[in-house]
């Protein structure tokens, strides 16, 4: 029995002279949520499409629960569910008709298909709109239906390609909730995202991908600590006390703090968290009043910037748009 849901080694996909995926290695443990994080055009969708048997790799190999995606695609398809970046449901059909179609294609017949369809419509809050053609569906409803269609066969591995791109914050939070519940039932999820907070919130492990390569891999915490140390944020009650606070920091920790006077705030790099207590005692002694304080780890935004040399909003290069689904 294997405990690895996905194993990929040196995956390569070339479109023309564009190496869209350029040697990606991945290992995803069963029962985990694995995040693939990267900007537009980094190769996320192409990687997912190769793992989901929708594209043949030009080099390298990948397997799903021990079944090779190139040699045993039919077996792999029985183990996966795919929800694409663009809703992969039929626009001219209603929600019920879509789910019935995919139930039948998954081998459910008559009453069993109707029952599964009804259950999924209920679970994804689509009962009221079930008979309407999808043309009138909102983006969130479409995504929910798309995910519902992926769950008909209760696949042990789910690919979610940017499941919340373009959704409003409330719908996005609902989608996160759904993904968490899925994992609780034993599903393994591989999701791609451009949103750092999404990877941070959902994923057990994250691969940062840029220009077709994995540039970093680990838990969110590991990635953050690989980039730098924590920092202490101090908010003072009175802006006039900034100079004495700066002196105290230099004296106790031996480093220069970065002041932002308009916000009455100091950012202090902290190598040894234990010494923060000394600093706080010293500040009280100096009569500096604090409004607030927090210890901050570096954000994934900073991680990304450090790892790739460019910000996340920057696509690797404009013409490297992802292949449309």
C-alpha–C-alpha distance, residues 132 and 134, integer Å: 6
C-alpha–C-alpha distance, residues 209 and 41, integer Å: 10
Q: Please report how close the Cβ of residue 138 comes to another protein at its closest, in angstroms.
A: 16
C-alpha–C-alpha distance, residues 9 and 11, integer Å: 6
Q: Please report how close the Cβ of residue 18 comes to another protein at its closest, in angstroms.
A: 18
Q: Please report how close the Cβ of residue 170 comes to another protein at its closest, in angstroms.
A: 20
Bridge partners for 269 per DSSP: 231
Nearer to another protein, 76 or 266 (CB): 76
Residues binding another protein (CB under 8 A): 1-2, 5, 30, 52-55, 64-67, 72, 74-75, 77-82, 84, 86-93, 97, 101-102, 104-108, 112, 115-116, 119-120, 123, 133, 149, 151-152, 154-157, 181-182, 184-187, 325
Nearer to another protein, 103 or 214 (CB): 103
Q: Please report how close the Cβ of residue 307 comes to another protein at its closest, in angstroms.
A: 31
Q: Are 125 and 178 in contact (CB under 8 A)?
A: no
Nearer to another protein, 27 or 97 (CB): 97
C-alpha–C-alpha distance, residues 188 and 160, integer Å: 11
C-alpha–C-alpha distance, residues 290 and 309, integer Å: 36
Q: Please report how close the Cβ of residue 105 comes to another protein at its closest, in angstroms.
A: 5
Query: 201: helix, coil or strand?
Result: helix
DSSP string, 219-265: -HHHHHHHH--EEEEEEES-GGGHHHHHHHHHHHHSS--EEEGGGTE
């Amino acid at each position: 029995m294997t405990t690895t849901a996905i194993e990929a080694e040196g995956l390569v996909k070339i479109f023309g002279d564009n190496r869209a995926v350029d040697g990606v290695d991945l290992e995803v443990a069963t029962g985990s949520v694995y995040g693939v994080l990267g900007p537009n055009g980094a190769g996320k969708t192409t990687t997912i499409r190769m793992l989901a048997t929708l594209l043949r790799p030009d080099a390298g190999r990948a397997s799903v629960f021990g079944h090779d995606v190139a040699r045993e695609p039919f077996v792999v398809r029985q183990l996966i569910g795919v929800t694409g970046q663009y809703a992969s449901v039929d626009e001219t059909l209603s929600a019920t008709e879509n789910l019935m179609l995919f139930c039948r294609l998954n081998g459910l017949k008559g009453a069993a298909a109707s029952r599964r369809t009804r259950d999924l419509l209920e679970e994804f809050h689509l009962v009221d709109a079930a008979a309407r053609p999808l043309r009138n569906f909102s983006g969130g409803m479409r995504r929910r239906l798309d995910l519902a269609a992926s769950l008909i066969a209760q696949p042990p591995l789910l690919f979610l390609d940017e499941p919340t791109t373009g959704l409003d914050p409330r719908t996005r939070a609902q989608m996160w909730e759904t993904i968490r519940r899925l994992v609780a039932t034993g599903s393994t999820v591989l999701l791609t995202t451009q949103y750092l907070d999404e990877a941070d919130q959902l994923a057990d492990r994250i691969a940062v991908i840029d220009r077709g390569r994995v540039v970093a891999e680990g838990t969110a915490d590991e990635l953050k600590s690989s980039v730098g140390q924590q920092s202490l944020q101090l908010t003072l009650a009175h802006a006039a006390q900034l100079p004495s606070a700066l002196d105290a920091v230099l004296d106790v920790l031996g480093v220069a703090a970065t002041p932002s006077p308009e916000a009455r705030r100091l950012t202090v790099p902290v190598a040894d968290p234990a010494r923060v207590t000394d600093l706080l005692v010293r500040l009280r002694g100096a009569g500096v009043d604090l409004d607030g304080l927090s210890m901050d780890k570096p954000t994934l935004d900073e991680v990304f910037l450090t790892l790739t040399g460019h910000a996340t909003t920057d696509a690797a290069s404009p013409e490297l748009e992802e292949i449309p689904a």
